[in-house]
Structure 1
Amino acid sequence: MAEFTAGLFLNQSLHWMAKPKATGIPVVLAFNLIDRSLSEIPLSPVCVELYESRIGLGCIGRYLRVLGGCLSMYYRGGDHAADEIWVMEKYKVPSSWTRSFVLPPNTSYNTNKKRFWPLCYTKGGALLASSVQNSSRLGTILKLNENGQVLDLP
């Protein structure tokens, strides 16, 4: 048995994060809807380490996303550690996981009191994200560079 998170659609497949109890090593499961096959996509060793280390820091989560048409992992650090976004630049190639963004903790848009969500990349490579106050449904859309600095929206 494995523990699952919510899935997402990319390349004719549904994807989930899973941590099989047999190995204890987190992987991405991909179910191809065309040929109805199930496959495992390994995370890079750095991504596995991040996945595991965030649990011990009391961090908020690890999320599978699609950004820029690529499978991505968003490691949420909250008040304790920087958030990181890792992108699998070549689908199903574990060595192609690359860190694309580091978002510093305790910024005006990224704290345990706010939900920060990467939404998409702009054509220029900036990150569009939402930052929503936990106690309300009000939020803002932000444009960030790769160092997490807020850029002006057009």
Structure 2
Amino acid sequence: MLSADLPEEIVEEISMRLPVKSLLRCKSVAKSWYAQITNPSFISRQFEWSDSITKNRRRQLIFRLHNASLKPCISLISDQEPIDIEVPFPEKDVEYIFVYGQCNGIFCLYGVYGGDKAGEASLILWNPGTRGEGREQPPVEVYNLSTGSWRTIDSVVPAFRLCYPKCRAYLNGFYHWLTEDNNDKAILFFDFGNEVFGKIQLPPEIDQSYESNVAVVDEKLACAATYKMTNCRYEIWVMNEYGVESSWSKKFVIGPNPEFGSFLGFWGDDEILVENEGHLVSYNIKNQKIQRLEILGVPKLFKVFDYVESLVPLKS
């Protein structure tokens, strides 16, 4: 792809280490480059590589309302300066964006419009790396990216009501949401491999009257409980053996601290992100250092998602 003098496997190893933005530019250089970059096998290997190097990096997409204009905005934070990303809805009068989840670098976004389109909404799939999106509003369950079509699956969905949309996590082919049924909170999961739903009970020691969240810690399913007293305190529980509810164990107790507000998730291995009165705040668990990041928004409306660069295409 890059040189006729290099073995094909070496060229591929070099290519998949390039940023997605560079690979997209390379698609227009030559037909052979286009064929290589759009090959499903290459896309899969590039994502595996990107995912492996991202695990120890701090890359998060922040969805929020801008504190001055009250318009939806998206920022990417990493070890470098925050970068603002253009909102993917082409209509400029979108007033709210709800994030239903992400998988393989692709986000499912639900936009609610105002102005002349007040009351209308759109559901889109969005890849921040390629900036492509696909629109569908189907009455079915599963969307297949390779065929660009929806299909119904034969799976029984347990009764549930989703808690606040930020409460979700993806781990090893399973997507998790925090749900509530008759005032009892539990974790609903979807197994992509077997296309079935199931439920996991929260640790019995967690007081369910307080705010909870689901996350991933050290490649394990985790539950974060926020106890709001004068100052917030967090308890982080980890499921040491996936699917075994008796394996829940308390890993961290953080705080109380006046800088804490809503728990948003982990940032790398040693830091958490929280929101406090419209400020995005990071807290280092090891050295207890607190840093207010240069990102502001409307209080209690921050949503944070892990972001991995991906070449996975969205079929038109």
TM-score (norm 2): 0.36
Aligned partners of 1:109 and 1:116 also within 8 Å: no
Distance 1:93 1:120, change over 3 A: farther
Per-residue Cα deviation, 1:1-55 (whole angstroms, up to 9, x for no partner): 421133321121111122233xx532211111121111121223213xx223x2x
Aligned partners of 1:89 and 1:97 also within 8 Å: yes
Higher RCO structure, 1 or 2 (CA under 8 Å, sep 6+): 2
Quick one: which of 214, 219, 229 aligns to 1:79?
229
Matches within 5 A, 1:34-45: 34-45=193-204
CA RMSD of aligned residues (A): 2.6
Quick one: which of 130, 150, 154 aligns to 2:288?
150
Shift of 1:152: 9.3
C-alpha separation in 1, matches of 2:275 and 2:202: 29
Quick one: which of 33, 46, 52 aligns to 2:192?
33
Aligned partners of 2:238 and 2:250 also within 8 Å: yes
Aligned to 1:91: 242
Matches within 5 A, 1:113-132: 114-120=261-267, 122=269, 127-132=270-275
Shift of 1:116: 4.3
Shift of 1:102: 0.9
Which structure 1 residue ranges, 5 or more long, are not aligned? 55-60
Aligned to 1:10: 171
Aligned partners of 1:19 and 1:25 also within 8 Å: yes
Shift of 1:85: 0.7
Distance 1:64 1:120, change over 3 A: same
Per-residue Cα deviation, 1:63-96 (whole angstroms, up to 9, x for no partner): 1111211111111123346321111111001011
Give the AA of the match of 1:143. N
Shift of 1:140: 4.2
Larger strand share, 1 or 2:
1
Aligned to 2:129: none
Aligned partners of 2:179 and 2:187 also within 8 Å: yes
Count matched residues. 129
Percent identical residues? 19
Which structure 2 residue ranges, 5 or more long, are not aligned? 1-158, 292-316
Greater displacement, 8-17 / 75-84: 75-84
Aligned partners of 1:85 and 1:100 also within 8 Å: yes
Local SS of the residue matching 1:51? coil
Q: Which has the larger radius of gyration?
A: 2
TM-score (norm 1): 0.69
